[in-house]
Amino acid sequence: MEADDYKIDEEEMELMIRSMNTDSETQKEYVEDEHSQEFDWGKMNEALGDQVPSISKESTNTNSKTTDTSYDMTPLREEIELEEERKRAQQEQDRLKRKKEQEATEKTRRRRIKFRPPGNNIFLTDDCSQEPFRFFSYKNLSLIKDFGYNLKHKERGYGCESQLMEIFSDPVKFIMHLSPETTSNLIHDKDDFEKICDYLFFSLASFYEDSDEKYEIATFEHFDMFKKALFDLLRNYGFSSFRLRPKYILECLLNLGFNERILLNKQQYLKALSDRISNVEEWYKKNKNKTYKWSLPRFHDFFIARQKEPQGAPSTAELEKTYKALHTDEEDEDLSSGNSRHEKMIIENERQIVDSEKSKVPSRSELLRLQQIECIENLVELFSDLIITFTDDPYVR
């Protein structure tokens, strides 16, 4: 029989349809009527010339049963968890990559900052003779030796000089006995007031952290404590012997490493202040019949003595001790039991990286530079707050 002559009669068509719906009610009725149960697919395929696999009742029954039973979801959940793990691993790789890129960018930025622009080198740290804090620092300033404070222990209500010296050696006890918010036996007259204010001011302007733990306060609280004491003194006492003058600025800048040849260049000041100096000269000639001659301000006696015999910058051991005290964080808390093994490994790796970075202490010049920057910021803050707070008082006029 040719493929084009092959035709399906109505009975075969009905049988084919019923064979495709195995175990249906209509098929059962069809079989009960003594019809064949299966359609001869092979006969039709042979006639049509198309190799279509026959669908047997057994295979259709199997498919039907498979459809009716529920699937085992365990492999699917495992696949989902593996996919999530891959995503987390990829995210962690991306995060570490971004971190490395940021570190590389930061290193490049720091490397660029190290290049000195053309012009004057104002602050010097590489030259030992120009190191910051070489004239004075908080540790080697003395209220008695440098500023001439008279102990007068009996008049001040203390049994002996050693008792008073012990108070001055401890910043906490000193502030407590000073009682800057009220009155104190440590201040009897304007000379006492001026010398204590000078001592507080230069301690603040030269301040670098004292990492000793023998005091009852944290190292970073020294600056705030001394600053509050100075401002309370200026608010509560009527003495005007302390006045913020240009010599304070010059002495502090020199101690912080400012280039002396630039800062104390008299010709530059004469050129910049020529108009003002001319007006002062005319006023002196007219009102006092004197000749005015401008000059750089005379420094404090203690600073002149320090210029002749510099105390020297803090030792490398002190700088390293201070750096470690400020840049070593407390140990991290133990990892919680809820973290996965993968997360624990990531946290442990990050901790090792941080610990390795902490163990690297910068060179002496870099330690001095970091301390120098902080002290310059403190000095600017101190001057600005004094001028703003006491703008109408004689302390800053």
Q: Where are the domains of the chain?
A: 10-63, 128-313+372-396
Mean pLDDT of 14-43: 56
Query: Sorting pLDDT into bands at 50, 70 and 90, what band is 2?
Result: very low
Q: Residues 268, 280, 283, CA angle at the centre, nearest 5°?
A: 165
DSSP state of 237: -
pLDDT value of position 355: 53
What pLDDT, on a 0 to 100 scale, did the predictor assign at position 54? 47
Q: What's the pLDDT at 234? A: 93
Given pLDDT bands bounded at 50, 70 and 90, which one contains residue 330?
very low
Q: What length is written for the chain?
A: 397
Residues 6+ positions from 3 with CB-CB distance below 8 Å:
47, 48, 49
Least confident of 7-11, 203-207, 341-345: 341-345
Among the listed ranges 212-216, 234-238, 285-289, which one has the minimum average pLDDT value?
212-216
pLDDT score at 198:
96
Tell me: pLDDT of 123 over 90. Answer: no
Tell me the C-alpha distance between 185 and 178, whole Å: 8
Burial 85-103 (b: 16+ CB within 10 A, else e): eeeeeeeeeeeeeeeeeee
- β-sheet bridge partners, residue 171: none
What mean pLDDT comes out for the span 363-374? 87
Q: What is the full DSSP assignment across 114-175? A: HSPPSS---B--SSGGG-TTSS--TTT--TTTTT-----TTTTT-S-HHHHHHHHHSHHHHH
Q: Which amino acid is at 279?
A: N
Average pLDDT over residues 373-384: 91
Contact of 361 with 323, CB cutoff 8 Å = yes
Rounded average pLDDT over 267-291? 90
- Give the pLDDT band of residue 178 (cuts 50, 70, 90): very high
Q: Report which residue type is found at 393.
A: D
What are the residue ranges of helices labelled H in the chain? 10-19, 25-32, 41-48, 57-68, 74-114, 161-169, 171-178, 190-205, 222-236, 246-255, 260-263, 266-272, 274-287, 301-308, 316-327, 341-358, 364-389
- What would the mean pLDDT of 248-260 be, rounded to a whole number? 92
Q: For the chain, give the percent of residues with pLDDT over 70.
A: 64
- Out of 6-10, 18-22, 118-122, 225-229, the most confident range is 225-229
pLDDT of res. 231: 94
Judged against a pLDDT cut of 70, whether residue 261 lies above it is answered with yes
Q: What is the pLDDT, as a whole number, of residue 334?
A: 45
Q: How far apart are CA 20 and CA 266, in angstroms?
A: 111
* pLDDT score at 336: 45
Which residues, at least 6 apart from 35, have a Cβ–Cβ distance to it below 8 Å?
Answer: 11, 15
User: What percent of the chain has pLDDT above 90?
Assistant: 27
CA 303 to chain centre: 35
Amino acid at 187: I
Is the predicted pLDDT of residue 55 greater than 50, yes or no? Answer: no
Task: Give the tokens for residue 298.
Answer: 């005379």
Which residue, 122, 162, 356, is CA-closest to 262?
122
Residue 159: what pLDDT? 86
Segment 389-395 mean pLDDT: 85
Spatial distance between the Cα atoms of 137 and 362, rounded to a whole number of angstroms: 21
Mean pLDDT of the 268-285 span: 91
pLDDT tens string 91-110: 888 888 888 888 887 776 66
258, β-bridge pairs: 123
- Note the maximum CA span of the chain: 148
Higher pLDDT, 140 or 329: 140
Per-residue DSSP letter, 219 = G
The pLDDT score that the predictor gives to residue 348 is 60
Q: Mean of the pLDDT values across residues 34-59? A: 52
Provide the residue type at 295 as one letter.
S
Q: What is the mean pLDDT of residues 70-80?
A: 71
Predicted local distance difference test score (pLDDT) of residue 66: 46
Cβ atoms of 372 and 256 within 8 Å: the answer is yes
Q: What's the rounded mean pLDDT across residues 219-234?
A: 85
Tens of pLDDT, residue by residue over 133-177, are 999 998 899 999 999 999 988 888 888 889 899 999 888 889 989
DSSP 206: T
pLDDT of residue 6: 54
Residue 258 gets which letter from DSSP?
B
Interaxial angle between packed helices 222-236 and 190-205, expressed in degrees from 0 to 180 and rounded to the nearest 10: 150
- Position 20 pLDDT exceeds 70: no
**Burial (CB count <10 Å: 0-12, 13-18, 19+), residue 386:** buried
